[in-house]
Chain A
Amino acid sequence: MRPVSNIAIASVTVVALCSGAFLLHSGAETNAPPQPSAAQAAAPGAGDRRPAAPALPHSPPERIRIPSIRVDAPLMGLSLTPQGSLDVPPAEQKNLAGWYEAGTTPGERGTAIVAGHVDNSEGPAVFYDLGSLKKGSVIEVARRDGGTAVFTVDSVEVYDARDFPDDKVYGAAQRAELRVITCGGGYSKATGYQGNVVVFAHLTGSRAA
């Protein structure tokens, strides 16, 4: 019987060595979600100057669409946790976001709040790319009344847990505003994400049913 040639064994060994090294290296790469740059932070007088559209009547939201980061997800109602923070949608569902049901509905006068996961244990989730939004990006919310509220991004900020500006993020507004929130900032294995990416937007238009 002709033995397997040394060259064949050597070739297989070299290929296995290279692919093994490649797999281990790329598998260990960190795929951190994009974070907003300082240029997207709110600057006095330098925000989006598009005029605010007149507020819409009360109507619960059904879907959120952010074309520039290919988000198109249903919205579920969220309440508060016993600690007073906003609850979150179930983590298993990658393409699901939520809105604060006891608050303002998106398009109505006031501050409407939408939150979704940046990732779950499987990988990226609905708002993975939220931190890459820019001033002027468009966010659309489809409402139960059949209409669509169109928001324009004013700024994209990242806040640390220790210094979270509750009033700025959640406080009342005199026009129709929207906040879209996900996890962000630094990450540590022990504490998870250490902050939130918060997108500030205001109503700039609407489409009827």
Chain B
Amino acid sequence: MRRTARMLTGTALAVAAAGLATAPAYGGETGRLEVFPSTVVPGAGVTVNTAACGAAAAAAGDASAVGAGTFPLAPSAHENDAIGQFRVPPSAQPGTYEIVAQCAGGKQVTGDLMVTLTSTREQVQPRGLVKTGVGGALGTDPVQTAAGVAALAVAAAGGTWLLHRRARGDGI
């Protein structure tokens, strides 16, 4: 008897779970509060939006869980979409916080915000050397070298001319 009851309970739970699992496919776009970015460092700005409020697209936001107080959600550029912003206080502690928005019509939606001390964007950090030079500031200056060679050629020509004159007995 107890066994049957347990099986029935299990079945009920499975049905409920299946219902929950399929729910987003139908109402996922309208039933929750989207939080972007969903992972932030203290002091960062966060934008939330939801389509749950319908045509009115206005709601009262509450981020007091993370210490950011209340904020308004107003209609956005997208139809039926309410959008709002708040800033996570620099003193916020790491953790996951529930952000709530209550539509003008009374419906309530929630979304999760995770606060970490290290920005996730930094987790892909560069490594190794930066290739920022080719040695062009070093070594010889080609223009100056060419000018020097030309000047030496003139000197050689002058010297040769003088030697020729002397050989011919032109007097030196």
For A86, A88, A128, A164, which residue has the most chain B Cβ atoms within 10 angstroms? A86
Give the shortest distance, in Å, between A98 (CB) and chain B (any CB). Answer: 9
B130 close to A26 (CB less than 8 A): no
* Docked-complex contact A13 and B137, CB < 8 angstroms: no
A172 & B145 in contact (Cβ 8 Å cutoff): no
Counting CB contacts under 8 A, is B44 at the interface?
Answer: yes
The distance in angstroms between the C-alpha atoms of A152 and B146, with both chains bound, is 44
**A interface, how many residues as a size bin?**
35 or more
A26 to chain B, nearest CB (A): 7
A111 to B134, CA, bound (A): 27
**Interface residue A75 (Cβ < 8 Å from any Cβ of B):** no
Bound form: Cα–Cα A9–B159 in Å: 8
Whether A16 pairs with B154 at a CB distance below 8 angstroms is yes
A-B contact pairs, 13 of them (CB 8 A): A20-B151, A57-B87, A85-B129, A104-B122, A109-B43, A113-B126, A119-B138, A125-B136, A166-B128, A170-B125, A183-B131, A187-B138, A195-B129
* New A-B pairs, 16, CB < 8 Å, besides A20-B148, A24-B148: A6-B170, A6-B171, A13-B158, A24-B152, A27-B143, A55-B90, A58-B44, A85-B128, A86-B130, A102-B121, A108-B119, A123-B137, A128-B137, A161-B129, A172-B125, A183-B129
Which 9 A/B pairs are nearest by Cβ-Cβ distance? Answer: A13-B158, A23-B148, A183-B133, A27-B144, A20-B151, A20-B152, A24-B148, A119-B137, A16-B155
